[in-house]
């Protein structure tokens, strides 16, 4: 079950095991779940799995097919459940949509199998605690500006799941984790944006202390839903179009054009909301130096993202001086790494 024993499961005897910085980070995303752990040599291993599943009838034919394709499955409530990347690949083969344990950044209220499936995926990527009560920082979304989202229930649920696995679980805002991962050289001061599947989270921090945190209920899924609607295709097909290598600066056909239009709209919407928060001035520190904007999250990985982001930024009169605008080198795993940093320094 645990594929993450690259962090030295056979420690050398002359080296006390306490030298490994304890603590892990986990990004519980709508589209992907990623766990980060520090190895004995100081490097970081991140284990990633798609947060999706597919259920297939529990019959001999299906079992034989999954075995032949070497697809791992579990039996749950009389169905064969395939989780993660395998579910996504099979869904495209069968022309079905995968089921998602989470929607819009939170545990999905309409998905009865959400919790057992999430436990399976979390257990797969995170593994057991290395010492009883090891700290794990897990990301949670901020309160949303444009919908009512019940973050309290979501936070309590995952604190419970991780606690039952033997961890001491501590929440951290998703965009705050981006600041921990990407803005260490800036004394953890600046703007972190996490472009996820379910929502976009924003955090403005001064010397690691979050001053403003919020989310908007639009993300990669919002793009997929709209693209699917205007093109008349399934949402999984729209997601595939987006992930197969579009460059949103230079769309090549009608399908790519639709993806580019909704991306530009999403980026502009996020920037307008960040600008508005600065202008409303509540809890806002005075920044004497230009601040950097760090973007991360799977939705930011499309070709041309940061260039389009800079173009849209150039169109608005931003109220404070901004330095670098960049995307995390490893955009998909930056939140998990930021959670790990928060766990290691005890936040």
Q: State residue 225's pLDDT score.
A: 93
Average pLDDT for residues 128-143, to the nearest whole number?
94
Provide, for the chain, the percentages of residues in helix, strand and coil under a 3-state DSSP scheme, each rounded to the nearest 5: 40, 25, 35
Sign of CA dihedral 53, 56, 60, 62: negative
Instruction: Give the separation between CA 247 and CA 332, rounded to whole angstroms.
Output: 18
Longest dimension (CA), the chain: 67
Out of 109-113, 117-121, 240-244, 260-264, give the one with best mean pLDDT. 260-264
- From first CA to last CA, the distance across the chain in angstroms is 30
Q: State residue 195's pLDDT score.
A: 96
Asked if 335 contacts 29 with a C-beta cutoff of 8 angstroms, the reply is yes
Exposed/middle/buried for residue 225 (C-beta within 10 Å: 0-12, 13-18, 19+): middle
Q: State residue 331's pLDDT score.
A: 94
With bands split at pLDDT 50, 70 and 90, how would you rate the model's confidence at 222?
very high
Domain map (residue ranges) of the chain: 17-51+100-344, 52-89
- Can you tell me whether residue 30 is helix, strand or coil? coil
**Count of other CB atoms within 10 angstroms of residue 153:** 11
Average pLDDT for residues 271-299, to the nearest whole number?
88
Instruction: Give the separation between CA 340 and CA 318, rounded to whole angstroms.
Output: 32
For residue range 190-202, list pLDDT tens digits in order: 999 999 988 999 9
Q: State residue 258's pLDDT score.
A: 94
For residue range 239-282, list pLDDT tens digits in order: 888 888 899 999 999 999 999 999 999 999 999 999 998 888 77
Instruction: Give the separation between CA 44 and CA 36, rounded to whole angstroms.
Output: 7
Q: State residue 19's pLDDT score.
A: 52
Residue 347, pLDDT > 70, answer no
Q: State residue 89's pLDDT score.
A: 81
Residue 328, pLDDT > 70, answer yes
**Which pTM value belongs to this model?**
0.85
Domain 17-51+100-344, CATH = 3.30.420.40
Residue 18, pLDDT > 60, answer no
Average pLDDT for residues 20-41, to the nearest whole number?
89
DSSP string, 130-144: SSTT-EEEEEEPPPB
For residue range 55-101, list pLDDT tens digits in order: 888 888 888 888 888 888 888 888 888 888 888 888 877 777 788 87
Residue 186, pLDDT > 70, answer yes
């Amino acid at each position: 079950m645990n594929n993450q024993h690259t962090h030295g499961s056979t420690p050398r005897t002359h080296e006390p095991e306490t030298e490994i910085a304890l603590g892990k980070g986990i990004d519980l995303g709508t589209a992907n779940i990623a766990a980060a752990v520090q190895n004995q040599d100081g490097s970081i291993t991140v284990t990633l799995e798609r947060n999706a599943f597919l259920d297939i009838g529990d019959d001999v034919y299906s079992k034989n097919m999954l075995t032949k394709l070497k697809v791992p499955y579990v039996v749950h409530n009389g169905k064969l459940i395939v989780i993660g990347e395998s579910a996504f690949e099979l869904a495209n083969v069968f022309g079905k949509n995968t089921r998602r344990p989470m929607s819009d950044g939170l545990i999905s209220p309409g998905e009865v199998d959400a919790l057992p499936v999430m436990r399976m995926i979390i257990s797969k990527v995170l593994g057991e605690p290395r010492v009883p009560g090891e700290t794990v920082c897990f990301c949670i979304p901020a309160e949303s500006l444009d919908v009512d989202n019940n973050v309290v229930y979501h936070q309590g649920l995952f604190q419970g799941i991780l606690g039952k696995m033997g961890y001491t679980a501590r929440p951290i805002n998703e965009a705050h984790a981006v600041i921990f991962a990407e803005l260490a050289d800036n004394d953890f001061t600046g703007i972190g944006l996490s472009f996820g599947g379910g929502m976009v989270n924003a955090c403005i921090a001064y010397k690691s202390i979050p001053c403003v945190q919020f989310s908007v209920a639009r993300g990669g899924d919002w793009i997929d839903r709209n693209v699917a609607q205007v093109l008349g295709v399934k949402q999984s097909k729209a997601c595939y179009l987006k992930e197969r290598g579009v460059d949103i600066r230079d769309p090549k056909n009608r399908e790519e054009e639709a993806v580019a239009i909704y991306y530009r709209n999403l980026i502009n919407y996020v920037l307008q909301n960040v600008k508005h928060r600065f202008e409303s001035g509540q809890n806002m520190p005075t920044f004497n130096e230009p601040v950097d904007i760090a973007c991360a999250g799977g939705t930011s990985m499309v070709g041309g993202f940061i260039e389009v982001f800079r173009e849209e930024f150039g169109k608005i009169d931003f109220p404070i001086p901004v330095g670098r605008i960049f995307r995390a080198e490893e955009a998909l795993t930056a939140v998990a790494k930021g959670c790990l940093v928060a766990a290691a320094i005890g936040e």
